[in-house]
Amino acid sequence: MLRHSVLSAAIVGSFVSSSVLAATITQWNFNSPTPDGNTSTGTTSPSTGSGTATLIGGTTATFASGDASGGSSDPATGDDSGWNVTTWAAQSSGDKTRGVQFSVDTTGFQDIILSFDQRHSNTVAREFVVQYTTDGSIFTDIATFTATAGDTWFNNRTVDLTSISAVDDNPNFAFRIVASFTGEPGTQYDASNPASNYSTNGTARFDMVTVSGTVIPEPASLGLLGLASLMGLRRRR
């Protein structure tokens, strides 16, 4: 009986460790693939996994330091780049139409969580909304983040999608981070720095954009779990 008990515990432990631990599906750190000591160069290709990063609504972007203004959470030193986005909509127009989009195939994963670092300049919009899609075309608001100051990084902004099963195991999953009017319903953009005025030339800098999840257990793993439970029941009897 002891042998069966130990075997059951081993099977359950193996199942839990393989199915519960979160894994990074895709991550963007925007650093140059080969470090060149220049933060004004970088790439929008993922540093981990696969996916696409695109500009939406007419925004433009360059690369700039991820260390400035307190810095992002990127551990890189000397070559820490961020994706520096500008060319926002005119005041009181284009609410939630301009920003960035990240597309990631979540096939084989569930319990999806998003996280990112974002630097607000003094004159960029104070509020940004995160939207997600399950079909690649219709986007739904899921979270709003509000800056409390300008020229500041807000690190580890996190959006928990674990309760939305439609984003699991989905090749069409994507999310957007877009500038929005302040408040709901709002009529204009407020600047991140209360002492400044909103400007279309303000910048939002992104770094360490990460999509994580847990591996969906294989049917064989579920069978092992059932076997372990049955063995445990027999031992108790």
* pLDDT at 214 exceeding the cut of 60: yes
- Residue 234: CB atoms within 10 A of its CB come to 11
Give 128-151 pLDDT, tens digit per residue: 999 999 999 999 999 999 999 999
Expressed as residue numbers, the domain containing 114 is 22-217
pLDDT of residue 180: 98
Asked if residue 52 is part of any domain, the answer here is: yes
Q: Considering its fold, how many domains does the chain have in total?
A: 1
pLDDT of residue 2: 42
pLDDT of residue 170: 98
Asked if residue 227 is part of any domain, the answer here is: no
Which CATH number characterizes residue 76's domain?
Answer: 2.60.120.260
Asked if residue 46 is part of any domain, the answer here is: yes
Q: Which residue has the tokens 């409390």?
A: 148
* pLDDT at 52 exceeding the cut of 70: yes
Give 172-182 pLDDT, tens digit per residue: 999 999 999 99
Asked if residue 74 is part of any domain, the answer here is: yes
Give 218-236 pLDDT, tens digit per residue: 876 545 445 444 445 455 5
DSSP string, 100-145: EEEE---TTEEEEEEEEEEEE-SSSBSEEEEEEESSSS--EEEEEE
Helix 2-20 / helix 219-236 crossing angle, nearest 10 deg: 150
Q: Are 118 and 28 in contact (CB under 8 A)?
A: no
Mean pLDDT, residues 118-126: 98
Asked if residue 222 is part of any domain, the answer here is: no
Torsions phi, psi for 35 (to 5 deg): -50, 130
Asked if residue 2 is part of any domain, the answer here is: no
Asked if residue 209 is part of any domain, the answer here is: yes
pLDDT of residue 7: 39
Asked if residue 15 is part of any domain, the answer here is: no
Mean pLDDT, residues 7-29: 64
Q: What is the dihedral of CA 74, 79, 57, 202, to 10 degrees?
A: 90
Torsions phi, psi for 75 (to 5 deg): -75, -10
